[in-house]
Amino acid sequence: MLRWLRGFVLPGVACQKDEDDLRYEILFQDLDSDGDGLVNIVELQEGLKNWGLSSGQNSEEHIFEAGNTNDDSGLDFEEFMQYLKDHEIKMRLAFNSLDKNNDGIIETSEIIAALKSRGGFIINVISTIFVVNFSIDSDGTMTIDWDEWKYYFLLHPEKNIDEIAHFWKHSTIIDIGESISIPDEFTEQEKRSGDWWRRLVAAGIAGAVARTCTAPFDRLKVMMQVHSLKSRRPRLIGGFEQMVKEGGIHSLWQGNGVNVFKIAPEATLKIGAYEQYKKWLSFDGAKIGITERFVSGSLAGATAQTCIYPMEVLKTRMILGETGQYSGIIDCGKKLLKQEGVRTFFKGYIPNFLGILPYAGIDLAVYELLKNYWLEHYATNSVDPGIIILLGCSALSHTCGQIASFPLNLVRTRMQAQALEEKGTTTSMIHLIQEIHNNEGKKGFFRGLTPNIIKVLPAVIISCAAYEKVTQHMGLI
């Protein structure tokens, strides 16, 4: 609705102020569904919901209380107009505080700088770019001008840049299939209203969509990691053809059920642990910075992985199993427990644990290095690298993180599959590393890396797009 208002041309109207007044009158009339000249709390709530403008923080109550100066049953047109004009002044101040170079537009780099200055933990910076630019940027320029900013936040309750930054940071709970981005702390209002779990549900749905769409690449990666000695020269197309030949087209998604099923417990444990680790590292409530957030995030990831690790083993076994070998997750778990005992559910745990920190650390460090290098050597009149450069930096940083941790990932997968491949025998991590090096050389540690890298960018795009859609339907943005 507000994007339509921005593009609504009023013939013969030259003054921007008069044009805005007429647009706001149309907005008021649309909200006043019963035509009595007053917009009550129910009409306001329905209007925000229908337009997808609710930020999930009792937006209608904030707006109604701020605008209803005479404390009656509804907002009349004068009160509504006064609220919008007062709110527009606050949004102009927020816009100017972001527009550091005073060129009349907000660039991506200025948004990222604002988030970082407020303690934002942005390993998965693509999430922020997608949610902010794609939700506010209506003309596709990947920058935000004053009109786009004004009409987007016209009926949002946020009053200043700190509240807007808080809103943005909560819009980036993204799961790309490798790890779940951790949100900043939720406010007491969000906890009381239940918005925190709605955001987790939205992130879970987005993650399920992304994982399902890229599941064939995930299965091919595992198959190449474990069966590399059977096929000395594995190829992408050949691998897909072999899987389809053995089990049909649906076999490409074998094991995806476990991968989707573990999203909810993993996200809940990771976010809960993250909050607790932040408290322990805050030292008597002091504000924590990026280092503390990184440490908290890494420890939270390790904690969540420890608790849900048996599901990782189940996923690997179902991916590697023959078509029809397991009827489902429960059947697979029962057979493994009966044939191999409880210990099999923690095979490969040590290399999995050791791989968490280098992945997260290198991902963050490489992104910052690449972006700063571009700004130093290639930036001319603008400090905004642009969406293509940022996408490239983020994709490369993810790739570097994957490459650094992939040998441990491969060792983990081999250990998870040991009983299946070696008929019950077990091999220690050190012995397995030596075995891979002796039999396959250094390249053996990177079997399956190609499909794993290929899926990174589409997984991010799909997850961000799905999260944006789900949060709109749930009235969270």
Give Cβ neighbours of residue 423 (< 8 Å, ≥ 6 apart). none
Domain identity same for 164 and 37: yes
Count of the separate structural domains present in the chain: 2
Compute the distance between CA of residue 414 and CA of residue 420 in angstroms, rounded to an integer: 10
pTM above 0.85, yes or no: no
Does 249 score more than 80 pLDDT?
yes
- Report the C-alpha gap between 131 and 117 in whole angstroms: 19
Contacts 24+ apart (CB under 8 A), 158-163: 158/55, 158/94, 159/87, 159/90, 160/90, 160/93, 160/94, 161/94, 161/97, 161/98, 161/114, 162/118
Q: Is the pLDDT of residue 14 over 50?
A: no
Q: What contacts 344, CB < 8 A, 6 or more positions away?
A: 313, 336, 337, 419
pLDDT at residue 131 in the model: 56
Residue 48, in any domain of the structure: yes
Residue 227 lies in a domain: yes
Q: Is residue 158 part of a domain?
A: yes
Q: Quick check: is 125 in a domain?
A: yes
Q: Where are the alpha helices (DSSP H) in 321-386?
A: 329-340, 349-377
What is the rounded CA–CA span in Å between residue 384 and residue 263?
34
**Domain boundaries, position 324:** 215-454
68-84: pLDDT as tens digits: 888 888 888 888 888 88
Same domain, 156 and 222: no
Query: What is the widest separation between alpha-carbon atoms in the chain?
Result: 83
Query: Quick one: 403 and 385 in the same domain?
Result: yes
Q: How far apart are CA 80 and CA 191, in angstroms?
A: 29
Q: Do 112 and 162 share a structural domain?
A: yes
**pLDDT: is 397 or 321 the higher one?**
321
347 and 401 share a domain? Answer: yes
Between 368 and 236, the higher pLDDT residue:
236
| Average pLDDT score over residue span 56-65 | 70
Indicate if 383 and 364 belong to the same structural domain: yes
- Burial (0-12, 13-18, 19+ Cβ within 10 Å), 57: buried
**Do 165 and 72 have their domain in common?**
yes
Residues 201 and 172 in one domain: yes
Note whether residue 3 is domain-resident: no
269 shares its domain with 324: yes
Q: State residue 459's pLDDT score.
A: 82
Quick one: tokens of 33?
């569904």
pLDDT 10s digits, 85-116: 888 888 888 888 888 888 888 877 777 777 66
Whether residue 153 lies inside any domain: the answer is yes
Residue 1 domain-assigned?
Answer: no
Strand partners, 175: 180
Domain containing residue 270: CATH number: 1.50.40.10
Is residue 345 in a domain?
A: yes
Distance CA 294, CA 299 (A): 9
pLDDT value at 201 more than 80? yes
Instruction: Answer yes or no: do 147 and 24 share one domain.
Output: yes
Residues 184 and 226 in one domain: no
Give yes or no for a contact between 165 and 116, defined as CB atoms under 8 angstroms apart. no
CA torsion sign for 269, 270, 272, 274 is: positive
Are 280 and 201 found together in one domain?
A: no
State how beta strands 105-106 and 144-145 pair: antiparallel
Terminal-residue alpha carbon distance, the chain:
14
CATH of the domain at 63: 1.10.238.10
